[in-house]
Copies of this chain bind each other. A is one copy, B any other.
């Protein structure tokens, strides 16, 4: 039993090693660049052994994406625990998005693989559920803050907009800007020199536009965001230290 469980642990360990080998390849050379033969030879195992851990290449990719989504979730969990008004906590989650994209750029890129149809379709139900769960948890954390604001009467929803749909708007603008920033050939050539700051201004405008109290001018918003980014740094490292 001890023996068996040791073996068990060794196998699990290897699953992890495969991911450690695959990750940099996927990041630097994309899906095409990642090959099972290459992973196998780099691990000094036969290809068949790799296939004992993952049924196909797509599952490796999705496993890496899940790791990255989990990292985001943990950051969100911590960020949502920051004290202050609901509005400050909402901004904290915006800061977490920004933090994640800037300091965990590889994870941000890896995460995107779950949006690839071909990869999604080849993956197991089990892993798909893991992804949905993680996404759901992140949504809960943010919509929870919106609900807090509603309870405290710091915010009132417009007719026909749910708390989740309010979150969706912030999700869309943050996600959209980050994808555009990462993949648009050259935003500066289009006149967009500081996309991150532009999105901060948009988010502040949105929050004020929904009359989410306390209202803030841009300077105050910007200062608060700077503080929040600082607050997130140690949180991030403590997550990293628990592996």
A117-B180 contact given A161-B198, A191-B163, A192-B168, CB 8 Å threshold: no
Using a CB-CB cutoff of 8 Å, which residues 108-143 of chain A contact chain B? 115, 117-118, 120, 128, 131-132, 135-136, 139, 143
Structural contact, A190 and B31, CB atoms closer than 8 A: no
Q: Which of A118, A168, A192, A210 has the most CB of B within 10 A?
A: A168
| A185 cross-chain contacts in B, Cβ below 8 A | 120, 128, 131-132, 135
Structural contact, B201 and A160, CB atoms closer than 8 A: yes
A195-B173 contact given A115-B179, A128-B185, A132-B186, CB 8 Å threshold: no
A81 in the interface, Cβ–Cβ < 8 Å?
A: no
| A128 cross-chain contacts in B, Cβ below 8 A | 185
Nearest chain B CB to A110 CB, angstrom units: 13
| A187 cross-chain contacts in B, Cβ below 8 A | 168
Q: Which of A118, A143, A173 has the most CB of B within 10 A?
A: A173
| A197 cross-chain contacts in B, Cβ below 8 A | 160, 165
Cα of A154 to Cα of B183 in the assembled complex, Å: 33
Copies per complex? Answer: 2
Structural contact, B191 and A162, CB atoms closer than 8 A: yes
A231 in the interface, Cβ–Cβ < 8 Å?
A: no
A194 in the interface, Cβ–Cβ < 8 Å?
A: yes
Chain B, residue nearest A31 (CB) = B118
Structural contact, B180 and A168, CB atoms closer than 8 A: yes
A175 in the interface, Cβ–Cβ < 8 Å?
A: yes
A239 in the interface, Cβ–Cβ < 8 Å?
A: no
Q: Known A-B contacts: A115-B183, A164-B192, A172-B199. Give 12 more (CB < 8 A).
A: A117-B183, A158-B218, A160-B197, A161-B201, A162-B193, A164-B191, A165-B192, A165-B195, A169-B199, A172-B174, A172-B202, A175-B180
